[in-house]
Amino acid sequence: MNDNDNNTLQQLMVCHHCDLVLQKPPSVPEHHRVFCPQCHHKLLSHKPNSLERTFIWTLTALVFFMPAIFLPLLHLDLFGQSPSSSVMSGILALWQQEFYSVAVVVLVTSVLAPMLQLILLSYVTYSLYFGHKLPGLVRVFKAYLELRHWGMLEIYLIGLLVSVIKLIDMAEVVVGIGLFSFIALLMAQIMAVFSMDAPLFWRLLEQNKATTKELPQ
């Protein structure tokens, strides 16, 4: 009876925006997405080779992370001096001017959240891809999902662009090497997020857990 009910539940899915109960499709066809017929929420999308692609893009993003955060994004040529600014030096400047809460919010949204997300996701994809049973996978993946609202690298880039336009009248602005790393980091991070198929990851995590306990699937 209980098993029967579980099987029924396995074949269903529920839209978490309007609570509509739907039949789960066996697979999503290529270039297709499944929307909720009642409220139009995107429920599933086709993501080919999700594991490999997520793994590669996450690693690429991690490679560019440190240069993107610490190397100068912009140089200025003003009154014969040439100051430069990186993501980190901006946060330090806010801290030195005693705007601690702003400094913390910028630190979280432009450094900590994106960095933690990449580290956590690479941990999960590495383990699933190579079949290594690392500890705490489910908790790590949950933490990754929780952080998704708080990484704002793409918004930082737009902010940077606006700053350049603000400064261009009063000084000569030169692009720094940090900016190229930053754009590479952003691209790789966006690709990693788009390749990541959450329902697939949960299925694999469940299988991973089941095999460690030596239970039949």
Partner 1 sequence: MSDISYSPKSARALNIAVCHHCHQLVRGHGRCSRCNTLVHFRKPDSLTRTWAFLIAAIAFFIPANLVPIMNIKMLGQGEPATIMEGVILFIEHGDLPIAIVIFVASVLVPLLKIVALVFLLLSVHFEWARTARRKTILYRIVEFIGRWSMIDIFVVTVLVALVQLDKLASIEVSEGATAFCFVVVLTMVSALCFDTRLIWDIKEESTKGNKR
Which residues make beta-bridge pairs with 35? 42
List contacts with partner 1 (CB under 8 A). 5, 8-9, 11-14, 16-23, 38-41, 73-74, 76, 78-79, 81, 83-86, 89-94, 97, 99, 101-102, 105-106, 109-110, 138, 141-142, 145, 149, 152, 155-156, 158-160, 162-163, 165-167, 169-170, 198-199, 202, 205-206
Give the number of other Cβ atoms within 10 Å of residue 11's Cβ: 9
Sheet of strand 74-77, all strands in order from the earlier edge strand to the far edge? 84-85, 74-77, 172-175
CB of 131 to partner 1, least distance (A): 19
Distance CA 48, CA 195 (A): 8
**Which amino acid is it at 206?**
E
Cα-trace Rg, the chain: 22
Q: Is 132 strand, coil or helix?
A: coil
Largest CA distance in the chain: 81
Minimal CA–CA distance to 200: which of 115, 129, 120?
129
Report if residue 43 touches Zn ion, rule: CB under 5 A.
no
Which two structure tokens, joined as six digits, stand for 165? 């336009």
Distance CA 186, CA 118 (A): 11
Report if residue 36 touches Zn ion, rule: CB under 5 A.
yes
Report if residue 15 touches Zn ion, rule: CB under 5 A.
yes
**Closer of 42 and 166 to Zn ion (Cβ):** 42
CB of 153 to partner 1, least distance (A): 10
Only one of the segments 33-41, 62-70, 145-153, 169-177 lies at the binding site for Zn ion (rule: CB under 5 A); that segment is 33-41
Report if residue 137 touches Zn ion, rule: CB under 5 A.
no
**Closer of 111 and 188 to partner 1 (Cβ):** 111
**Closer of 30 and 81 to partner 1 (Cβ):** 81
Report if residue 32 touches Zn ion, rule: CB under 5 A.
no
Only one of the segments 26-34, 38-46, 107-115, 126-134 lies at the binding site for Zn ion (rule: CB under 5 A); that segment is 38-46
CB of 32 to partner 1, least distance (A): 19
Which residues make beta-bridge pairs with 42? 35
